[in-house]
Amino acid sequence: MYREGYLIKCGRSAYDPPVGDEMTALARFRAQLLNTPADGCSGVQQLLFCVFEDGVVKFFAEKGGMFVGELELAGRVTKVRVEKAAPGKFPYRFSVSAAEVVRVEGRRMKLGEARVTEFAAPTNDLMKEWANSLHLWRRMNWKENVKFFDNSSELSQAEEYETLQLQMHTIKTVRGRSTSGAKVLAPFVNIMHGQPSPTIKKLRQMIMHTGSTACA
């Protein structure tokens, strides 16, 4: 099973750090993050290009860019959960819980506490596709080009990137103006449900219109 695309990754303990000289590059990348803590998700937001293959989610600063970390699911007990909508948070979130295990006399024993990583997807359809891919990869790892919902809308990767950028900007802006959680979520509900295949121009127009209305 293979999937790639842009996601927002939340939380301070986000990475399994790379080894060797890449640690210096990772430190520089983190220092250059433009996102601030506690804006939309707990901890630090990171807009990353994610590649999932053979039970490993690899994170890159951008498509074709620097490798900055990974989340390994193989050899671990995992649980994938779709997160409920909450005021001040991104609307299309899911979390992955992973705990390393070892077999002792035929039984699987956890080696430590589960590590939970939260992601935010550009749309509800993409959230469901990602969550199902990570949840069912062991059963369907041999399949290629898996799509779980035939009628789900699609975005290009450029649209995924800009959609997430707009969501981050809107949440940061609206929260900074002390707007209620319901108004924070409203732009995303209108965008994704009112237009099955939204263009970037319409996304930008609707978000700008909603933001100006909220502050009127």
Percent of all residues in the chain with a pLDDT value above 70, rounded to a whole number:
59
Residue 24 tokens, joined: 């210096």
Q: Is residue 158, in this structure, part of any structural domain at all? A: no
pLDDT of residue 22: 44
pLDDT band of 141, cuts 50, 70, 90: low
Q: Is residue 29, in this structure, part of any structural domain at all? A: yes
Q: Would you say 3 and 135 are in contact if contact means Cβ atoms under 8 Å apart?
A: no
DSSP type of residue 114: P
Q: Is residue 49, in this structure, part of any structural domain at all? A: yes
Q: What is the pLDDT of residues 38-97, one digit of tens each?
A: 334 545 789 999 999 989 999 999 999 999 999 999 888 899 999 998 887 888 999 999
Residue 194 tokens, joined: 């009112």
Among residues 104, 93, 52, 98, the alpha carbon closest in space to that of 75 is found at: 98
Where is mean pLDDT largest: 84-88, 148-152, 155-159?
155-159
Q: Is residue 166, in this structure, part of any structural domain at all? A: no
Q: Is residue 184, in this structure, part of any structural domain at all? A: no
Structurally, the chain folds into a number of domains equal to 1
CB contact set of 100 (below 8 Å; sequence gap of 6+): 75, 76, 110, 111, 112
Residue with tokens 């909603």: 210
Q: Is residue 114, in this structure, part of any structural domain at all? A: yes
pLDDT of residue 75: 84
Q: Is residue 104, in this structure, part of any structural domain at all? A: yes
Residues spanned by the domain of 73: 2-153
β partners of residue 9: 46, 119
Between 131 and 190, residue with greater pLDDT? 131
Helix axes 200-214, 181-194, angle to 10 degrees: 150
What is the C-alpha separation between 197 and 31, in angstroms, rounded? 35
Q: Residue 134: which CATH number?
A: 2.30.29.30
- Total-model pTM: 0.67
Q: Is residue 179, in this structure, part of any structural domain at all? A: no
